[in-house]
Amino acid sequence: MKKFYLLPVFMLLVTLSILHAQANIYSQSINKPGVNLRGGPIVLGTVNATFPADGYVVVHFDGECYAEIGDRIVVAASNNGDWGANDGNVSIENSKAGFGRPFSHTRVYAVTSGAHTYYAVGQNAVETDGSGVATIYGSLTVEYFPDNGASIVKSSGFTFQGDVTNTTVVKDQVIHVNAAGKIVVRFDGYITSSPADRIVLAASNTMNWSFNDGNVAVEAVNAGDVDENSFSHTRVYNVTSAGDYTYNALAQVYGKAGGNHMISVYGNLLVEYFPTEGSEKILFSGFTLPTIDLNGQATSVTTISLDAPSAGKVMLVLDGYLTADPGYDIVLAASNNLGYTEDDGSITLQALDLDQNRYSFSHTRVYNVSAGNQTFYAVGEIFGGSGSKTADLFGELTLRYIPSGASAVSDIAAEINSFDLYPNPTSDQVHVTFKKPLDHKMKIEVLDVKGRSLEEYPVHSGEDIHLDLSVFPAGLYWIKAGNVTKPVMRM
C-alpha cells in the first residue's frame, strides 16, 4: 500500500467552496410597539449569518413607523448597530397623531467568510419635541452574494442636491454581465423637497421614467419641518446578452410644481443580476390600478406563481405608491396567502388630506417554500372611516427564489461513489479509498481557490491514499479524483 503525504500543498487550500458558494437570504421581523428611541441608537432587530466565502450582502430595512408630532425618527439598515449621515439612514416625521409613515433603507457591504451580524437601528434624533417613543413594524433582510457566484450585485449610496425641473439622473450604476438574465433595480432612501412640488422618483434602464408603476411620487407636508419622505421604487428588466448595462435613479417635479423645484436625495441605487441559466429565479408583476375597490376585505392586487424545483426560500418585496381619499386606513402586504397579519405582516397608511394623499411604500416578507407550484400575493384592504373605499395603486411585486442545499461544487457525476474520504471530519489523517478499482491510472488533484490545479498525483484507482492534515489549520479542504470533487473538514 502506497502512502502520499501532502504537506505544503494544503497550505494553499482555503475553502474551495467559494468557487460556487451558495447565495442565501436571511430575515428578521421587526415588531416594536412603544419603544423609547431617546439617547443613543437603539437596536430594533438583528440578523446573524455565517458566510462560506467572501462576497457582498444587501441589507434592507423597510416597513412603517408611528411617531409623535415633533420627533424625527432615524431608522437604518446597518452592519455595526449605528447609523450614518446622508445615505446611512432615512428620516421619518409625522404631522398627525396616529398616522404611520412608510420607509425603506438599503445598504450594501463587502463581507469576508465567517460570522457577521446586521442590524435594524432606530433613534429619535435632530428634532425631539415629542416623547421619543415610536412604534416600528417591518422586516430586516440580508441577501448574500458570494464573490464567485453566478449572480452579481452593484450598489451606489449617494447624496444629491439640485434642481429637478426636468428629468434628472441623480445617480447611475453600470453593471457587466456575462450572459442573458434578469436585472432587478431598486432606488430607495428619503428626500426633502418643497411642499408645493410633487416629486417623481424612478429606477429606470433609460434616462426617462414612465407613468403609473414606472415611478413613485411623494409630496412634502410643510416647509422646513415635515418636508421629508421615504420612498422605494423597483423595476425588473430582461437582458438578452453579455455586456455592460447602465441603470439610473431619476427625479423630476411633475404634476404639481408650485415650489422651488429643489430637492435633496439621500438614497441607494441597487442593481442585482441573475443569469437565466442559474438556480435562482426572479419573477415579478407590475400593477397599475386606478380606483381599485378594496371594499373592506383583503383583495389581491397582483399575484406571482412559482414552480419551485426544490425546497428553498422566497423573498417578496412589494413597493410602489398609492393615492387615496382621507378618512380610512389602507393596509398593504406582501403575502404567501390571500390574507395578511397585523404589525410586521403588513403596513397601514392613511391620507393626510385631499392634497397630501400620496405615499411611497415598501413591504418585505421571506418564506420557506417546498418544491412545487405555489402562489404569492400583493394584498390590499381598506377599512374603517367614512371616506371613499377606492384607492389608486401603482407598483411592483418582486419575488426572488433561492433553492436550499445547493452543492458548493458539482459532485453529481457517474462516478459519485468512486471514492470515500474518512474519517471526515478529521483531526489528522484522512484516508482516500476507491470503491471501484480500475485498470488504468487516474490522478488526485489539489486545486487553489480559483480552481487551478496546484499538484497532480497519479495513482491506480485501487490504491488507498493517506493524507496527513495534522499540521494545517482547521478548515474545509477539497480533493479531486477524476471527475469527482469531495470535501473534507479538518477540525
Whole-angstrom distance, CA of residue 200 vs CA of residue 209: 9
Output the domain CATH number for residue 467: 2.60.40.3080
Per-residue pLDDT reduced to its tens digit, 248-267: 999 999 999 999 999 999 99
Does residue 459 belong to any structural domain of this protein?
Answer: yes
d(CA 380, CA 268): 27
Q: How do residues 73-120 score in pLDDT, each as one tens digit? A: 999 999 999 999 999 999 999 888 888 999 999 999 999 999 999 999
Residue 7 reports pLDDT greater than 60? no
Residue 335 lies in a domain: yes
135 and 163, same domain (yes or no)? no
Which whole number is the average pLDDT over 376-396? 84
287 and 379 share a domain? yes
Place of cell 401603482: 394
The CATH number of the domain holding residue 386 is: 2.60.120.760
Does some domain include residue 384?
yes
Q: What is the rounded average pLDDT of the residues 46-71? A: 95
| Residue after which a domain boundary falls, among 343, 362, 390 | 390
* Angle 279-285-287 from CA coordinates, rounded to 5°: 170
In terms of pLDDT, which residue wins out, 125 or 391? 125
> Percent of the chain beyond pLDDT 70?
82
Domain span including residue 368: 283-390
Question: How much is the pLDDT for 454?
Answer: 64
Q: Tell me, what's the pLDDT at 402?
A: 94
Distance, in Å, from the CA atom of 482 to the CA atom of 441, rounded to the nearest integer, reads 10
> Which pLDDT score is estimated for 463?
61
CATH code of residue 265: 2.60.120.40
Confidence label for 28 from pLDDT (cuts 50, 70 and 90)? very high
Question: What per-residue confidence (pLDDT) applies to 12?
Answer: 37
Cβ atoms of 446 and 455 within 8 Å: the answer is yes
d(CA 203, CA 9): 49
pLDDT at residue 482, as a whole number = 63
pLDDT surpasses 80 at 172 = yes
Residue 397 counted as domain residue: no
Instruction: Judge if 158 and 232 occupy the same domain.
Output: yes
Q: Which of 267, 67, 47 is nearest to 156 (CA)?
A: 267
- Given 278, 308, 342, the domain boundary residue is 278
**Is 400 within a domain?**
no
For the chain, the domain total comes to 4
With helix as H, strand as E and coil as C, how does the chain read? CCCCCCCHHHHHCCCHHHHCCCCEEEEEEEEEEEEECCCCCEEEEEEEEEECCCEEEEEEEEEEEEECCCEEEEEEEECCCCCCCHHHCEEEECCCCCCEEEEEEEEEEEECCEEEEEEEEEEEEEEECCCCEEEEEEEEEEEEEECCCCCEEEEEEEEEEEECCCCEEEEEEEEEECCCEEEEEEEEEEEEECCCEEEEEEEECCCCCCCHHHCEEEECCCCCCCCEEEEEEEEEEEECCCEEEEEEEEEEEEEEECCCCEEEEEEEEEEEEEECCCCCEEEEEEEEEEEEECECCCEEEEEEEEEECCCEEEEEEEEEEEEECCCCEEEEEEECCCCCCCHHHCEEECCCCCCCCEEEEEEEEEEEECCEEEEEEEEEEEECCCCCCEEEEEEEEEEEEEECCCCCCCCCCCCCCCEEEECCCECCEEEEEECCCCCCEEEEEEECCCCCEEEEEEEECCCCEEEECCCCCCEEEEEEECCEEEEEEEC
The segment with the largest mean pLDDT, out of 312-326, 393-407, 408-422, is 312-326
Residue 355: which pLDDT band, with cuts at 50, 70 and 90? Answer: confident
Average pLDDT value over all residues in the chain: 85
Q: 69 lies in a domain? A: yes
- Do 26 and 114 fall within a single domain? yes
Report if residue 395 sits inside a domain: no
Residue 293 is predicted with a pLDDT of 82
Q: In what order do the strands lie in the sheet with 475-481?
A: 453-460, 441-447, 475-481, 484-490
Select from 98, 127, 149 the last residue of a domain.
149
386 within domain boundaries: yes
The per-residue pLDDT for 407 is: 34
- pLDDT computed for residue 13 by the predictor: 38
For 451-459, the CB contacts below 8 A with 24+ separation are 451/16, 451/19, 454/9, 454/12, 455/6, 455/9, 457/4, 457/6, 459/2, 459/4
Across 18-27, 89-98, 158-167, the highest mean pLDDT is recorded for 158-167
Q: Provide the whole-model pTM.
A: 0.79
Task: Kindly tell me if the per-residue pLDDT of 412 is higher than 50.
Answer: no
- Average pLDDT of the residues in 324-343: 90
Question: What local confidence, expressed as pLDDT, does residue 357 receive?
Answer: 77
Domain match, 195 and 293 both? no
Check pLDDT > 50 for residue 167.
Answer: yes
Question: Between residues 203 and 407, which one has the greater pLDDT?
Answer: 203
